[in-house]
Amino acid sequence: MSLMTGFAILVGEAVIGFWKKVHAINFGVYGSTMVGKTTLSHQLRTRGEVPQINQRTVGLHRATRKNVKIDGDSHTIKSADIGGEAIYWKEWVKDMQKRRVKYIIFMIDHRHLDTEANLDHQVAWKFLVDTIVSDFWPTGRKKRDSDYPMAIGIWANKYDIWGEKYPLEEGETIDKHKIFEPFKYGMRQLNDKGIPCFKYIVSAKSDPEMVYRGVMTMIKDY
């Protein structure tokens, strides 16, 4: 390899690295209240043990940049912290539409396993899926191809809390865990629209590597 070729490769790598750092990939993080969205946002900013967060997020907060780096690869993403109560779901739609989010993380926890009558996640999921697969925004404007996300991640958070209580069956893979069962129909709807789904188990509060690896997997694989 000549000196000029080697120099060109180094320059090219530097340009790519700079572009990844400057160009932020828009992520939308949605889910029911108290599921861990704010915790995830803190973890992406600080990469470490996150303090206990007891206050509910109100409304839509300004989207902020976060640098995700793992295994020598680095990307900058941008996400907003948004309330999870039903009154704020319209803010999810505003966030999706305004920022044209490329990847969506829908966070769940184990409340529907603890109590079958608890439908917090299922109702929020149906709202989100119906919004995404629709050909039109609620404003009546027809969606363009760029308005649809590239992939949806269903992240089962708080694994450090429910993992032992609801372990995987012998030989069972993560994506087959019963925690994802109520969301299968919505995933089929998204798949029919050409939008792949990524099932993931995470402990957003205590395991930053799980968080960063999950984000990077979505970017690289989808």
> What confidence score (pLDDT) does residue 192 get?
98
> What confidence score (pLDDT) does residue 189 get?
99
User: Exposure string (b/e) for 97-116, b if CB count within 10 Å is 16 or more?
Assistant: bebebbbbbbbbbbbbbeee
**Residue listed under structure tokens 């149906």:** 126
Asked whether the whole model's pTM tops 0.85, one would answer yes
Cβ atoms of 190 and 132 within 8 Å: the answer is: yes
> What confidence score (pLDDT) does residue 51 get?
73
| DSSP code for 161 | H
> What confidence score (pLDDT) does residue 5 get?
53
Distance, CA of 30 to CA of 121 (rounded, Å): 11
Cβ atoms of 198 and 153 within 8 Å: the answer is: yes
> What confidence score (pLDDT) does residue 15 get?
40
> What confidence score (pLDDT) does residue 8 get?
42
> What confidence score (pLDDT) does residue 22 get?
56
Domains of the chain as residue ranges with CATH: 24-221 (3.40.50.300)
Distance, CA of 198 to CA of 152 (rounded, Å): 6
Cβ atoms of 30 and 83 within 8 Å: the answer is: no
Mean pLDDT per block of 10 residues along the chain (222 residues) reads: 50 44 87 95 85 76 93 94 96 96 99 98 99 96 96 98 93 93 98 98 94 96 95
